[in-house]
């Protein structure tokens, strides 16, 4: 019990009740594991961002004066592998999913706390192997590890990196299993499926993808390592293998992986828009089911990554059609969010700025995806900077904006301190402007035919590339600011004394203390109201039942 070991003078919360290093590294508390993930992925984000800075600096001149072509190849692989496997995929699920899910559904922890900690250790072991591979000469396969280059020709520690990604993949599976069981089995009394916050629905859909898709990419990458090490023909045509088979297996996971990144961000946006408009999310059921629809249909579209690989034209037609279909649930979300804000009492705080930024950038990312879903335009645009711009609008403009919205929204709940609002707004603006300045020119470059993954280019594309590099410096500054002021706020930020500084709805805001107790709830609440019940702000979402009176005497006494 918390009180058994706690000897401080402050009221115990999950941060201060034990402070040794071992108490953090051996913790089963979902909130502490979330913090472990937060610290880890923040470091990886900075490393991946550093690689991106080198890429953009090199592209500032047409001849690529900063890096050699070999180093450039290793740099974009480093950027891709770190950002996707070590930052984006664990970002919102492992940090905010872990921290919030039990709080939001009225549980004391996730279903399997030990598995939760094991997930972090698997993630860190995988990350360590990836970093060793990257620092021991690096790898130049791109984050996609396409065969036969990766399995037969690439130099460097490709197998080591693959084993690292394999381990990180299992961390993701563990998180997914944990969340699925937690949501099914550990909801508080009265917390029916349609009273769940939409963030929980999003995490449920994400977990489905993690559990059903990740094993496929894990084994596929392991097969690459097997082919590379033992020369067993699986994907290399010279050994009797089939490289297109690799792409089928890889994209079966890696396209839904985009939804592992974006669905949790969508869940965050539902929470933030509702809280800062003081309105129930419009079309709650549609938004909830659209998460499931994205997760399921998202598994049927992977072939749009392979239109120009020699894939059957008929398969291409089917994949193209299904890709258009998956845009529908995304559009449902956008329209419902707009209706949520409509006539709401909008508050322009930092999380809201990020949420609005998400909506704008995600719409551009989504609509340009439709250009790529159409086979005719895809053939022209594939492997150009149009693709680079498109997926950055979705994965950075979407997922990272959602991540930053979440970080600012729940920061007072996680740390008990408030960040400086003025700096927060400035950073949100810089990120939005810097992002568009970086990536919008890349749509034009791609349309003009500039291929991705080249470190030099003709002079006529110099202006747009310089614009993009200039934008990336603004973006980089915009990302560094939160690192600085959030770290500063841990010591100097205003102490949060009220448990619900945003006036938001949800069980996590109705805990007794501003920072959660190690066990979340003294007694499990009984939920009586729907999510986002802003029409009745005086009514709590759930009430805490009184303890049963202790009967002394009688036949048991």
> In the numeric block, which tokens belong to residue 415?
């740390």
Which residues between 256 and 315 bind another protein (CB under 8 A)? 299-300, 302-303, 310-315
Which of 25, 55, 19, 20 is CA-nearest to residue 40? 25
216 scored as a contact of another protein (CB under 8 A): yes
229 scored as a contact of another protein (CB under 8 A): no
> In the numeric block, which tokens belong to residue 246?
């690799």
Piece of 65-73, 165-173, 226-234, 241-249 that binds another protein (CB under 8 A):
241-249
- Shortest spacing between CB 315 and another protein, in angstroms: 4
Which 8-state DSSP code applies to residue 139? -
Size of the site for another protein (CB under 8 A): 24
Which residues between 129 and 188 bind another protein (CB under 8 A)? 180, 184-185
- Shortest spacing between CB 201 and another protein, in angstroms: 17
Which of 335, 381, 197, 206 is CA-nearest to residue 271? 197
86/247 Cα distance (integer angstroms): 21
- Shortest spacing between CB 220 and another protein, in angstroms: 11
Assess contact for 273 and 340: CB atoms under 8 A. yes
- Of 302 and 337, CB closest to another protein: 302
One residue of 212, 292, 483, 544 binding another protein per CB under 8 A: 212
- Of 32 and 255, CB closest to another protein: 255
Piece of 114-122, 206-214, 223-231, 532-540 that binds another protein (CB under 8 A):
206-214
- Of 185 and 546, CB closest to another protein: 185
One residue of 118, 125, 219, 245 binding another protein per CB under 8 A: 245
Piece of 10-18, 89-97, 248-256, 370-378 that binds another protein (CB under 8 A):
248-256
Assess contact for 161 and 81: CB atoms under 8 A. yes
Omega prior to 127 cis, within 30 of 0:
no
- Of 39 and 315, CB closest to another protein: 315
**3-state secondary structure at position 504:** coil
How many Cβ atoms sit within 10 Å of the Cβ of residue 380? 13
- Of 139 and 306, CB closest to another protein: 306
407/411 Cα distance (integer angstroms): 6
> In the numeric block, which tokens belong to residue 61?
């001149």
367/486 Cα distance (integer angstroms): 34
Piece of 68-76, 113-121, 242-250, 353-361 that binds another protein (CB under 8 A):
242-250
For residue 77, give Cα distances in angstroms to 103, 146, 288: 38, 12, 35
One residue of 173, 249, 262, 355 binding another protein per CB under 8 A: 249
- Shortest spacing between CB 480 and another protein, in angstroms: 41
- Shortest spacing between CB 187 and another protein, in angstroms: 13
288/200 Cα distance (integer angstroms): 9
- The overall longest dimension of the chain from CA atoms, in Å, is 94
- Of 183 and 401, CB closest to another protein: 183
- Shortest spacing between CB 286 and another protein, in angstroms: 23
For 59-77, letters b (16+ CB in 10 Å) and e give bbbeebebbeeeebbbbbb
What does the DSSP assignment read for 317-346? HHHHHHHHHHHHHHHHHHHHHHHHHTTS--
370 scored as a contact of another protein (CB under 8 A): no
- Shortest spacing between CB 93 and another protein, in angstroms: 18
Q: Which helix H or strand E contains 246, and what residues bound it? A: helix 243-277
192 scored as a contact of another protein (CB under 8 A): no
**3-state secondary structure at position 517:** strand
- Of 213 and 514, CB closest to another protein: 213
Contact residues toward another protein (CB under 8 A) are 180, 184-185, 211-213, 216, 244-245, 248-249, 252, 299-300, 302-303, 310-315, 318-319
């Amino acid at each position: 019990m918390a009180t058994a070991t706690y000897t401080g003078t402050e009221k115990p919360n999950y941060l201060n009740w034990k402070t040794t290093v071992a108490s953090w590294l051996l913790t089963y508390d979902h909130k502490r594991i979330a913090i472990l993930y937060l610290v880890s992925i923040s470091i990886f984000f900075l490393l991946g961002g550093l690689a991106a800075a080198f890429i953009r600096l090199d592209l500032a001149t047409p001849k690529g004066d900063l890096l050699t072509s070999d180093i450039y190849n290793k740099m974009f692989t480093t950027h891709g592998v770190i950002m996707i496997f070590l930052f984006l995929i664990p970002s919102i699920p492992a940090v905010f999913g872990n921290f919030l899910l039990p709080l939001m559904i009225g549980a004391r922890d996730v279903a399997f706390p030990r598995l939760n900690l094991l997930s972090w250790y698997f993630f860190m072991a995988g990350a360590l192997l990836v970093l060793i591979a990257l620092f021991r000469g690096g790898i130049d396969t791109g984050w996609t590890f396409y065969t036969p280059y990766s399995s037969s020709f690439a130099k460097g520690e490709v197998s080591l990196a693959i084993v690292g990604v394999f381990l990180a993949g299992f961390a993701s599976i563990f998180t997914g299993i944990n969340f699925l069981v937690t949501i099914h089995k550990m909801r508080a009394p009265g917390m029916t499926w349609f009273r769940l916050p939409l963030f929980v629905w999003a995490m449920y859909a994400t977990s489905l993808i993690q559990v059903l898709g990740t094993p496929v990419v894990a084994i596929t990458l392991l097969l690459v390592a097997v082919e590379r090490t033992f020369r067993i023909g699986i994907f290399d045509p010279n050994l009797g293998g089939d490289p297109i088979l690799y792409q089928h297996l890889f994209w079966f996971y890696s396209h839904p992986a985009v939804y592992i990144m974006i669905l949790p961000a969508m869940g965050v946006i539902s929470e933030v828009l509702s809280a800062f408009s003081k309105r129930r999310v419009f079309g709650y059921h549609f938004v909830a089911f659209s998460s499931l629809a994205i997760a399921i249909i998202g598994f049927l579209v992977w072939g749009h990554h392979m239109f120009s690989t020699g894939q059957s034209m008929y398969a291409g037609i089917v994949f193209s059609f299904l890709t258009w279909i998956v845009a529908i649930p995304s559009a449902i979300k956008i329209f419902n969010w707009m209706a949520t804000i409509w006539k709401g009492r909008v508050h322009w705080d930092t999380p809201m700025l990020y949420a609005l930024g998400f909506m704008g950038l995600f719409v551009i990312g989504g609509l340009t995806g439709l250009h790529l879903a159409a086979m005719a335009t895809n053939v022209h645009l594939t492997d150009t900077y149009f693709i680079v711009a498109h997926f950055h609008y979705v994965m950075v403009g979407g997922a990272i904006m959602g991540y930053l919205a979440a970080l600012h929204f729940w920061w007072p709940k996680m740390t008990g301190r408030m960040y400086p609002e003025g700096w927060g707004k400035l950073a949100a603006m810089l990120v939005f402007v810097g992002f568009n300045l970086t990536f919008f020119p890349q749509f034009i470059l791609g349309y003009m035919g500039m291929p991705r993954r080249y470190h030099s280019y003709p002079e006529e594309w110099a202006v747009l590339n310089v614009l993009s590099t200039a934008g990336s410096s603004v973006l980089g500054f915009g990302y560094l600011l939160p690192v600085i002021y959030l770290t500063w706020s841990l010591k100097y930020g205003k102490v949060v004394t009220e448990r619900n500084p945003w006036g938001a709805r949800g069980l996590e805001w109705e805990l007794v203390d501003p920072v959660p107790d190690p066990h979340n709830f003294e007694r499990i609440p009984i939920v009586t109201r729907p999510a986002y019940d802003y029409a009745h702000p005086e009514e709590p979402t759930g009430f805490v039942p009184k303890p049963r009176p202790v009967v002394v005497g009688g036949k048991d006494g």
